Amino acid sequence: MARHLITSALPYINGIKHLGNMVGSMLPADVYSRYLRQRGHDVLYICATDEHGTPAELAAKEQGLPVDVFCAQAHDAQKAVYDGFDLAFDHFGRSSSPQNVEITQHFARRLHENGFIEERSIRQVYSPADGRFLPDRYVEGTCPHCGYDKARGDQCENCTRVLDPTDLLDPRSAISGSTDLEVRETKHLFLLQSKLQHEVEEWVARHEEEWPHLAASIARKWLTEGLHDRSITRDLDWGVPVPADTWPELAAEGKVFYVWFDAPIEYIAATKEWADSAPDGETRDWRSWWYEADDTVRYTEFMAKDNVPFHTVMFPATQLGVREPWKKVDYVKAFNWLTYYGGKFSTSQKRGVFTDQALDILPADYWRYFLIANAPESDDSSFTWEHFTATVNKDLADTLGNFVNRVLSFSKKRFGEEVPAGGEPGEAETRLGEEIASLLAEYESQMEAKQFRKAAAALRALWSAGNSYLEEKAPWLEIKTDKDGAALTLRTAMNLIRLYAVVSEPFIPATSAAMRQVFSLADDTAAWVSAEEARALTSVPAGTPFTVPPVLFAKLTDDDLDAYKERFGGEPESA
């Protein structure tokens, strides 16, 4: 069995994330991790909050909190939401951890020793009133292109044009509001990516045929345009400090590493955090996953398309330049955008459904299933309340939930609270077993290929097969003339419920657990269902006690739909 190292893009610290962020990284990584664990693989799923950079400092300032306090609180708030979504991280760390400081500084020293970091003088905005240089987002002003008066020094949110702080009209400090700004010379560290271009090209060429088209095309586009030397330090109060033993002058000036230099290193650091947080008596080996990892370690990253360049080009360049055997990604699963009625979800503009709000409305499994079944894999996909409501009602409430409820309720009413005995499998059961085995193989194939929409379609087909069998056999009619035949039909259907409980777990873990608890099976520790079990459908024998669970999925009404649209906006022009 392979050892699977899985990471998802680090959610930024400033604010609860929206559904687009969830489906573009963390949720599919969780679904895949759960599946692999069920199939017996050794899995390590690592994620963390990305806590450095200008937005964190500005968000802390807005709330009147020290930035370290703000980040600690925001980390806990995000983790609570991810727990609510049943994301089964092995560790959810923080990029402000001592482990990340240690490893980031180590990487910087090694790059410097190998000739891939250079100190350069640049001209930068300085605020005498604040007594400091201002990174791009610390400068605000009027956009020279559209006249928006709250444009930032890196980009105008109104017209989306990329800017330089010196482009702004009437610039002011985002800290103090002072307009007394100067342009002064200062020194920063640059990563000489241009010297690593050829090595990165060779590395990408060895992997891009296996990667999805989206990831491979973005990496190739960046390489075709050429890698440029990139500043990797900033003048901020919060970040990984430049090590004084290597750059004493810059360290004395308080320079810290740029967030996009230290954030990918946090994948490694968070794994060390996981090892360092092991319970007493347990030893965890983090280095075997990352440093001189053997051929059994398979590393898969999940991210939205805007993160692809950093993970397929920039971070590999850093790892190559270190000249040490750090594990590099094998497979990059990239996603397009999930839109909200055709428009962007926006953290800053509070547009769309955010993950904490989603959990306030409905349990996590409603969202998990819908998002993965409509994951933006081949192109952008649009979230609408109409589509969400229809999917929940058809797939979850009718196809799965109603099947479970009517089988168990009818059997309890006519045969009591044990799986009924009687009847011998016939042609209908043989056909059903073959169909279930075939659909299960399709489901497994799509999960292995990380094709989540197709996997969801195969899972839905498994659920539908049970309904078709039930309609064909009609035990509510069968019992009038053939009680043993009805018992066989219901027993077979109950075995389907148990199968659904096992194989649906990556998508809907809470509901799967509820279905599994229906049957009082001694020593039921099976992690997966074999093809032989799928054909036989006899894992739940006659005489097994069972209970009828509460409704698994409540149908959403027109009133629910209207309420959701009123709260969050439903039409494109209001999104």
Q: Is 146 annotated as a binding residue?
A: yes
Q: Does residue 203 have a pLDDT over 70?
A: yes
By DSSP bridging, strand 117-127 and strand 182-191 are antiparallel
> pLDDT, tens digit, for every residue of 95-125?
999 999 999 999 999 999 999 999 999 988 9
Task: Tell me what pLDDT residue 173 has.
Answer: 94
Contact between residue 193 and residue 229 where contact means Cβ atoms under 8 Å apart: yes
CB within 8 Å of 112: residues ≥ 6 apart? 246
Count other C-beta atoms under 10 Å from residue 226's C-beta.
Answer: 9
- What is the average pLDDT across 403-419? 98
Contact between residue 341 and residue 569 where contact means Cβ atoms under 8 Å apart: yes
Q: Which residues lie across from 489 on neighbouring strands?
A: none
Task: Tell me what pLDDT residue 347 has.
Answer: 58
CA distance 75 to 445: 36
Stated as kind and residue range, the H or E segment containing 141 is: strand 139-142
Closest CA to 54 of 122, 133, 118: 133
Task: Tell me what pLDDT residue 182 has.
Answer: 93
| Phi/psi at 52 (5° precision) | -100, 175
> pLDDT, tens digit, for every residue of 274-319?
999 999 999 999 999 999 888 899 999 999 999 999 999 999 999 9
Stated as kind and residue range, the H or E segment containing 43 is: strand 42-49
Contact between residue 142 and residue 148 where contact means Cβ atoms under 8 Å apart: yes
Q: Does residue 172 have a pLDDT over 90?
A: yes
CA distance 108 to 242: 8
Closest CA to 303 of 210, 376, 253: 376
Following DSSP, what letter does each residue of 67-131 receive, concatenated?
HHHHHHHHHHHHHHHHHHTT---SEEEETTSHHHHHHHHHHHHHHHHTT-EEEEEEEEEEETTTT
- What is the average pLDDT across 185-189? 95
CA distance 571 to 573: 6
Q: Is 47 annotated as a binding residue?
A: no
Closest CA to 51 of 102, 6, 96, 5: 96
Task: Give domain 117-191's CATH architecture.
Answer: Beta Complex (2.170)
Following DSSP, what letter does each residue of 459-485 receive, concatenated?
HHHHHHHHHHHHHHH-HHHHHHH-HHH
Q: Does residue 572 have a pLDDT over 60?
A: no
**% residues pLDDT > 70 (the chain):** 98
CA distance 341 to 485: 50
The pLDDT-based confidence of 127 (bands split at 50, 70, 90) is very high
| Phi/psi at 231 (5° precision) | -65, 130
Q: Does residue 158 have a pLDDT over 90?
A: no
117-191 and 384-536 share one fold: no
Q: Does residue 346 have a pLDDT over 80?
A: no
Least confident of 21-30, 58-67, 417-426: 58-67
What is the layout of strands, in order, in the sheet containing 182-191?
A: 132-133, 117-127, 182-191, 230-231
CB within 8 Å of 489: residues ≥ 6 apart? 423, 469, 470, 473, 475, 478
> pLDDT, tens digit, for every residue of 53-96?
888 988 998 899 999 999 999 999 999 999 999 999 999 999 99
From residue 545, how far is each of 95, 409, 420, 519, 540 by CA, in Å? 49, 13, 10, 6, 10
Q: Is 347 annotated as a binding residue?
A: yes
Give the SS3 label for residue 261. Answer: helix
CA distance 30 to 33: 5
Task: List the chain domain ranges.
Answer: 3-114+259-335, 117-191, 384-536
Q: Does residue 193 have a pLDDT over 80?
A: yes
Q: Is 104 annotated as a binding residue?
A: no
CA distance 449 to 393: 28
CA distance 202 to 463: 45
The pLDDT-based confidence of 350 (bands split at 50, 70, 90) is low
Mean pLDDT of the chain: 94
CB within 8 Å of 443: residues ≥ 6 apart? 455, 458, 459, 462, 503
CA distance 154 to 163: 5
By DSSP bridging, strand 381-383 and strand 338-340 are parallel
Domain spanning 384-536: CATH superfamily: Isoleucyl-tRNA Synthetase; Domain 1 (1.10.730.10)
CA distance 58 to 24: 26
> pLDDT, tens digit, for every residue of 214-264?
999 999 999 999 999 999 999 988 999 999 999 999 999 999 999 989 999
Tokens at residue 130, please? 């604040």
Task: Tell me what pLDDT residue 574 has.
Answer: 42
What is the layout of strands, in order, in the sheet containing 151-152?
A: 151-152, 139-142, 169-173
Count other C-beta atoms under 10 Å from residue 558's C-beta.
Answer: 8
Task: Tell me what pLDDT residue 570 has.
Answer: 66
CA distance 7 to 290: 12
**% residues pLDDT > 90 (the chain):** 86
Tokens at residue 454, please? 């197709």
Count other C-beta atoms under 10 Å from residue 28's C-beta.
Answer: 25
Give the type of residue at 532: E
Domain at 3-114+259-335, CATH class: alpha beta
Give the SS3 label for residue 366. Answer: helix
Contact between residue 107 and residue 123 where contact means Cβ atoms under 8 Å apart: no
CA distance 170 to 168: 6
Q: Is 159 annotated as a binding residue?
A: yes
- What is the average pLDDT across 422-436? 97
Count other C-beta atoms under 10 Å from residue 182's C-beta.
Answer: 10
Contact between residue 41 and residue 55 where contact means Cβ atoms under 8 Å apart: no
- Please name the residue that has the structure tokens 């991280």: 89
> pLDDT, tens digit, for every residue of 505-537?
999 999 999 999 999 998 888 899 999 999 999
Contact between residue 242 and residue 257 where contact means Cβ atoms under 8 Å apart: yes
By DSSP bridging, strand 182-191 and strand 169-173 are unpaired
CB within 8 Å of 417: residues ≥ 6 apart? 545, 546, 547
